[in-house]
Amino acid sequence: MRIRIAVVVVLLVALLVLPPVFGKVAESRVTAHIESLREKQLDITIDEYERGWFSSRARITLKPSQLHPSAALLADVLDPLTVAVDIRHGPVSLADGFFLGMFETYARPVDDSPVVDFVVEAQTTLDGSVNFAVEIMPLRHDFADGRVNLSGARASGTIERRRVDARGELASLEIASPTGAVSMIGVRASTDTERHSGRVAPGTLSVEVDRIAFERFENSSQAFDATGVRFASRSSVDRALNRLHGRAVFAFEQARTGNGATITDARYEMSLRNVDVAALEAYYDLVADGAPAEPSMDVVAPIVQRLVASSPSFAIDTVRFHVDGQPFEASLHVDVDSSVPPSGGAVDLNDPEYWRSILKGRAGLSAAKPLVEQLAAAGIKVQLLAAQEDGASMPTDSLDALAEAQVGLVLGMLSAQGMIEDTGSLYRTTLSFENGRITVNGQPLPF
C-alpha cells in the first residue's frame, strides 16, 4: 500500500514540477529553430514570449530578407506575417486529446485573412522526436506581375534526431506571370533521410505528379504538357561514412511539346558509386558560400583531387523514350581509376593526358532511322541559318529541302566510315574510351 502511495505521490510531483522544465526546453527549441531559419535568409523576430507553468504563448513575425533570391515574390506573400504560437507543456496534456511527451505546439497566422493561411501542429516526445502535421489552406493571390492558385496542401512526418520521415500532397497549383504559366495537378511526395554529416543526407526521395504543364505566352512552341511524371532516388553511405552511393530515376508516361511532337514511355536512370563524402561536403560549402562563376584552381583542386582519389563511377544507365512512336535509347558509363600515377609525378588537373590516363568509359546509342534523320535535318538547318550572311535569307521550303538533301550525304558518309551501324530500322553506335584511346563500333579513332 505504501508503495502505491509513493508512486502516486511521485507522479503528482512530476505532473506539477516537470511542466515548467519542459516549458523552458520548448523556449530554447523555438529560439534555436528561429536562428536556423534566419540563416536561410528569413527575417524573423520574436515579438513576445510568455512562458507559464503549464503553457506558453508567443508571437513571431517573419518576412523575407532582402538578400533572399525570391525576396520580391515572398515580400508580397509575407507582408509581413505574424504567427501566434501556443505551446502546451508536458509530460501530460489533455487539451487536445491525451498526449504524453515534452510539449505540444500549435501555430497559425494572427490575421483573419492572411495571404497564406496555414496550421502547424507538432508534438515533441520524451525522447526528443517531433511528430508534425502542416496544412496550407486553399488560396488565390493576385500580385503585381501574376497570380498563384493553390488548392491547398498537407504534409506530415517525424523528425527523429538526424532522421526525417515525411510525406505531403497537393491537389493543384498554378503560377502565372506576364511571360508564361506553369501548373501541376496531383502532386505527392515523400522522403526518408538521415543526415550523417553537415550537408549529406542519404535516404529515399520520391515525387509523383499526375500532370504538369508549362506555357510560354510569347512562343507557343516552348509549351510542354506531361502526364504520369515520377522521380525517385535512393542513396546510402558505407559503414565508415566516407563513400556515398546513389541511384535516381525520372520517368513520365506521355508529354506533348509546343511543336506538336508526342513523347511517350520516357525513362532516365542514373547512378553514382564511391563518391567521397568529405569532397562532396566541401563542394556544397563552396556553393553555399556564394562561389564565383569561375572559382580559382587553388580552391577547386583539393576538392577534385579528393573526389578522384576515391575512384568514383558515374552512369547514365538508360535514356529511353519514343518520339511520335519512334524509339530512342542511350547509355553512358564512366569510371575513374585513381591507381594510375600521373606521368609527371605530380597531379596537374589542367593536363589532358592526366585525365586520359585515369578515365575509362563506354557509351551506346540506338534510334529509329526516321528520328535520326529528322534530328540531323534540324541540326543542319540551324547551321545553314547561322551561315547565312547578314540580311540574306532563304525561303523556308528551300532551306528544308537543302537540309534534307544533306542528311542523306552525312549519314551515308558516317555509315561508310563505320561511325554508325545501319540495322535496317535503326541507326546504332557504340563508343569506348580507355588508356587514352577512343574506339567507335570497334574502330579506333586517329586521335
DSSP secondary structure string, 67-127? TSTTHHHHHHH-SSEEEEEEEEESSEE-BTB-EESSEEEEEEESSSS-SS-EEEEEEE-TT
Bin 345: left if φ > 0, else alpha if -120 < ψ < 50, else beta: left
**Count of alpha carbons within 13 Å of 298, Cβ hemisphere only?**
0
Query: What is the per-residue pLDDT for 184?
Result: 95
Residue 201: partners with Cβ closer than 8 Å, 6 or more residues away:
162, 164, 193, 194, 195
404 found inside a domain = no
Say if residue 133's pLDDT is above 90: yes
pLDDT in tens, 52-83: 878 889 898 887 666 555 555 555 556 678 88
Residue 429: partners with Cβ closer than 8 Å, 6 or more residues away:
364, 365, 366, 419, 420, 421, 440, 441
Say if residue 17's pLDDT is above 80: no
71 found inside a domain = yes
pLDDT in tens, 274-329: 999 988 888 888 776 655 666 677 778 888 888 888 999 999 999 999 999 999 99
How many structural domains comprise the chain?
1
Say if residue 28's pLDDT is above 60: yes
Residue 71: partners with Cβ closer than 8 Å, 6 or more residues away:
64, 65
- Give SS3 for 50: strand
431 found inside a domain = no
- Nearest-angstrom CA–CA distance, 127 and 160: 9
Say if residue 428's pLDDT is above 90: yes
**Strand partners of residue 323:** 263, 326
259 found inside a domain = no
Say if residue 40's pLDDT is above 70: no
Q: Are the beta carbons of 139 and 148 closer than 8 angstroms?
A: yes
pLDDT in tens, 202-221: 999 999 999 999 888 777 66
Alpha carbon of 411 to those of 365, 418, 427: distances in Å? Answer: 15, 11, 9
408 found inside a domain = no
pLDDT in tens, 74-111: 555 566 788 899 988 877 776 666 677 888 899 999 87
Residue among 356, 360, 366 nearest 331 (CA): 366
Question: In terms of pLDDT, which residue wins out, 196 or 40?
Answer: 196
- Nearest-angstrom CA–CA distance, 152 and 138: 4
Question: In terms of pLDDT, which residue wins out, 41 or 207?
Answer: 207
Range from 37-51, 57-71, 376-390 carrying the lowest mean pLDDT: 57-71
Give the domain range for residue 77. 1-137
Query: What is the per-residue pLDDT for 191?
Result: 96
